[in-house]
C-alpha cells in the first residue's frame, strides 16, 4: 500500500492487536507550558475548514495533570459506571451469556471510554472478539470527525473511513463532528490557576524568606567573592553583597499585604468554575462559605439531573451503536436490550430521623424503639428498661394528693380529634425533637467527591 506521497506503507494485520489501531503511527504527546494564547491558537486550528485537533488534544493531555479537574471528571463518570449494566430479553429476564460478559472489567473500561467523549468531544472505539472480547480506543489525534476518517499520521490526510462497511461493522463513534468537549471550556481556568500558583510560589519565595545583606571592603575583591560564596551556602534566601561604603534600602509595596489572600481567592474561583463546567454545580464538591443546607439540596438535585441524563445517554449508545456490533461478533443480543439495574433508594440517617419525628409528631404513629435505635445507629443504653420505666412512672405520694401538672389545666384539657397519642415512646421522641438539629448536622452526609 502507498500513501499520497508515494511511500510504501506496510501494515501488520494481526487481529490480536486491533485491526485499526495497529495501522497508525502514534506520536508522543508534546508537553509544554500552556497559556491562553496557545489555547486560542489550538482552538482556531481545530475549528478551521480542514480542522486539525492535534495541538488542542496535546493541550488537553496537559490539562489532565490538574488533580482537581481529573477528580471532577472521575466523579461524573463514576455516577454512571456505578449503576450496574444488565442485558435482558423482552420478558425482562437476564441472558446468562451477556451477563457473564457484562461482569468483566473490559466492559467497565468500555463504559468509561464512552463517557470520555463528553470531555474530549469524540470517541471512536473498535470492538473485537477472537479468543476473548477486546476494545481499542482510537487515539483521538488521528480522528478526523468531519471527514469520518482515521488517519495513519496525526497530521496526515490518508486513512480509514470508519463510518462505512466493513470498518463500521466493528467500529462505532460517539460524539458530534463539531464538538470539542467540556475540556475546551475548562482549559482557561486550569491555565489561570496554574499561572496563579506560579505567582503565589514566587511571592512566597520573595516575601516568605528573610533577605540577607553582607558588607565587604570596597577595594578587597577577594573578600567580596568569599562573602558571596558564604551567603550562597547559607541557603536559598535572597542576599546582597555590597561594599562598606554603600547602603541598600528595601521599600515595601504596601499593596502586597493581601496578595497571598488574592492568590488563594483566584485558586478557589478557578476550582468553582471547573466544578460548574464539569458537574453543573459546586456545592457537592467545594463548600462555599456561608452556604445553607437548602442551597446544597438544590445543587445536588442539579447534579442528579445531569447524572440521570448521562445514564440515559449511555443506554442509548449501548442499544443503538454497540448492540449491532456485538451481534456481528456473535453475541445473542437480537431479542434483548441493555438496562440499568434499579437500586432501592437509600435514605440518609438524617432523613430517617426526620421521617421518624414527623410520623410520631404529626400522625401519632406507634413505633418500635429497637427499630429506631437500629436504623439511626444511636447506641441503646444498657439500662434502657430502667430509664424507660423511670421516665414514664408518675410521681405519687400516698399522704398527699397528686401534684398538679406544671401547665395548670393541661391535664383536664380535652384532647383534639387529630391530636397524636404520645405515651410510651414519648420521652425518646421528645429527646430527638430537642436534639433534632444537632442530630441532623452530625449525621449529615459529607460533601461528595
**pLDDT tens string 83-140:** 999 999 988 899 999 999 999 999 999 999 999 999 999 999 999 998 889 999 999 9
How do strand 171-174 and strand 123-129 relate by DSSP bridges?
antiparallel
pLDDT recorded at residue 389: 82
- Counting residues of the chain whose pLDDT is more than 90, the rounded percentage is 46
**Cβ-based neighbours of 286, under 8 Å, separated by 6 or more:** 268, 271, 272, 275, 447
The β-bridge relationship of strands 143-144 and 133-137 is: unpaired
**Span 149-177, average pLDDT:** 94
The per-residue pLDDT for 88 is: 95
Whose CA is closest to 33, among 72, 71, 65, 67?
A: 65
Q: Which residues on neighbouring strands pair with residue 171, listed in sequence order?
A: 126
Through-space distance between the first and last CA atoms of the chain, rounded to whole angstroms = 50
Per-residue model confidence as pLDDT tens digits over 1-16: 444 544 444 444 444 5
Predicted local distance difference test score (pLDDT) of residue 94: 93
Does the pLDDT at position 36 exceed 90? yes
Rounded Cα distance, 9 and 188, in Å: 40
SS3 212: strand
- Asked if residues 228 and 284 have their Cβ atoms less than 8 Å apart, the reply is no
Identify the residue with better confidence: 330 or 289: 330
369: confidence class by pLDDT, cuts 50, 70, 90: confident
d(CA 15, CA 358): 63
Residues in contact with 266: Cβ distance below 8 Å, sequence separation at least 6, in sequence order: 192, 193, 196
Mean pLDDT of 223-238: 75
Residue 2, pLDDT score:
46
pLDDT (0 to 100) of residue 278: 93
The DSSP line for 357-424 is HHHHHHH-----HHHHHHHHTPPPPTTHHHHHHHHH-----TTSPPPPPSSTTSTTSPPPTT-----T
The model's pTM = 0.67
Q: Which residue is associated with the grid cell 471512536?
A: 124
Q: What percent of the chain has pLDDT over 70?
A: 73
- For 430, residues 6+ apart whose C-beta sits below 8 A from its C-beta are none
Instruction: Determine the average pLDDT of the residues in 295-302.
Output: 65
Residue scoring higher pLDDT (233 or 444): 233
407: confidence class by pLDDT, cuts 50, 70, 90 = low
**366 vs 68: which has the higher pLDDT:** 68
* Cα separation, 22 vs 352, whole angstroms: 56
Which pLDDT does position 354 carry in this prediction?
Answer: 80
**The predicted structure's pLDDT at residue 84:** 94
The radius of gyration of the chain's CA atoms, rounded to the nearest angstrom, is: 34
Residue 50 has pLDDT above 60, yes or no: yes
387: left (phi over 0), alpha (psi -120 to 50) or beta: alpha
pLDDT digits (tens, 9 = 90+) for 240-275: 777 776 666 665 555 555 567 888 899 999 999 999
Query: Is pLDDT above 70 for 405?
Result: no
- Average pLDDT rounded to a whole number, residues 358-366: 78
The mean predicted confidence, pLDDT, of the chain is 80
**Which residue did the predictor score with more confidence, 443 or 83?**
83
What pLDDT digit, counting tens, does each position of 308-320 carry? Answer: 999 999 999 999 9
Q: Is the pLDDT of residue 43 over 90?
A: yes
As beta bridge partners, residue 134 has 128
Say yes or no to pLDDT of 180 above 70: yes
Q: 205 is written with which cell numbers?
A: 519565595
Q: Specify whether the backbone of 9 is left (phi greater than 0), alpha (psi in -120 to 50) or beta.
A: beta
Secondary structure of residue 345 in the 3-state scheme:
coil
| pLDDT given for residue 349 in this prediction | 80
Looking at residue 398, its pLDDT comes to 46
Amino acid at each position: 500500500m502507498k500513501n499520497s506521497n508515494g511511500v510504501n506503507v506496510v501494515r501488520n494485520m494481526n487481529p490480536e492487536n486491533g485491526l485499526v489501531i495497529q495501522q497508525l503511527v502514534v506520536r508522543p504527546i508534546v508537553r509544554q507550558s500552556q497559556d491562553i494564547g496557545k489555547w486560542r491558537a489550538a482552538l482556531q486550528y481545530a475549528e478551521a475548514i480542514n480542522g486539525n485537533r492535534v495541538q488542542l488534544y496535546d493541550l488537553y493531555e496537559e490539562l489532565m495533570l490538574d488533580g482537581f479537574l481529573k477528580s471532577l471528571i472521575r466523579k461524573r463518570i463514576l455516577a454512571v459506571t456505578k449503576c450496574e449494566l444488565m442485558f435482558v430479553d423482552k420478558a425482562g429476564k437476564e441472558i446468562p451469556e451477556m451477563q457473564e460478559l457484562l461482569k468483566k472489567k473490559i466492559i467497565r473500561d468500555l463504559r468509561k471510554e464512552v463517557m470520555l467523549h463528553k470531555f474530549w468531544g469524540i470517541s471512536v472505539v473498535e470492538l473485537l472478539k477472537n479468543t476473548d472480547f477486546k476494545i481499542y480506543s482510537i487515539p483521538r489525534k488521528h480522528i478526523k470527525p468531519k471527514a469520518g476518517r482515521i488517519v495513519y499520521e496525526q497530521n496526515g490526510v490518508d486513512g480509514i473511513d470508519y463510518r462505512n462497511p466493513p470498518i463500521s461493522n466493528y467500529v462505532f463513534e460517539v460524539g458530534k463532528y463539531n464538538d470539542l468537549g467540556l475540556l475546551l471550556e475548562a482549559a482557561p481556568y486550569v491555565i489561570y490557576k496554574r499561572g496563579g500558583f506560579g505567582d503565589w510560589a514566587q511571592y512566597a519565595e520573595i516575601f516568605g524568606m528573610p533577605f540577607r545583606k553582607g558588607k565587604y571592603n570596597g577595594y578587597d575583591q577577594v573578600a567580596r567573592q568569599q562573602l558571596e560564596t558564604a551567603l550562597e551556602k547559607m541557603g536559598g534566601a535572597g542576599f546582597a553583597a555590597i561594599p562598606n561604603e554603600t547602603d541598600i534600602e528595601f521599600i515595601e509595596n504596601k499593596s502586597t499585604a493581601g496578595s497571598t489572600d488574592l492568590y488563594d481567592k483566584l485558586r478557589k474561583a478557578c476550582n468553582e468554575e471547573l466544578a460548574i463546567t464539569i458537574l453543573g454545580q459546586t456545592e457537592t464538591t467545594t463548600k462555599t462559605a456561608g452556604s445553607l443546607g437548602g442551597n446544597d439540596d438544590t445543587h445536588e438535585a442539579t447534579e442528579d439531573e445531569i447524572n440521570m441524563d448521562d445514564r440515559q445517554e449511555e443506554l442509548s449508545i449501548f442499544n443503538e451503536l454497540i448492540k449491532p456490533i456485538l451481534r456481528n461478533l456473535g453475541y445473542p443480543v437480537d431479542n434483548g436490550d441493555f438496562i440499568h439495574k434499579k437500586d432501592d433508594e437509600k435514605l440518609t440517617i438524617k432523613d430517617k430521623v426526620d421521617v421518624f419525628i414527623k410520623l410520631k409528631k404529626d400522625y401519632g404513629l406507634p413505633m418500635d424503639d429497637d427499630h429506631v435505635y437500629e436504623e439511626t445507629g444511636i447506641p441503646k443504653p444498657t439500662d434502657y428498661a430502667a430509664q424507660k420505666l423511670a421516665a414514664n412512672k408518675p410521681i405519687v405520694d400516698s399522704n398527699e394528693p397528686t401534684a398538679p401538672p406544671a401547665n395548670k389545666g393541661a391535664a383536664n384539657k380535652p384532647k383534639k380529634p387529630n391530636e397524636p397519642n404520645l405515651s410510651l415512646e414519648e420521652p425518646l421522641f421528645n429527646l430527638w425533637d430537642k436534639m433534632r438539629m444537632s442530630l441532623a448536622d452530625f449525621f449529615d452526609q459529607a460533601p461528595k467527591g
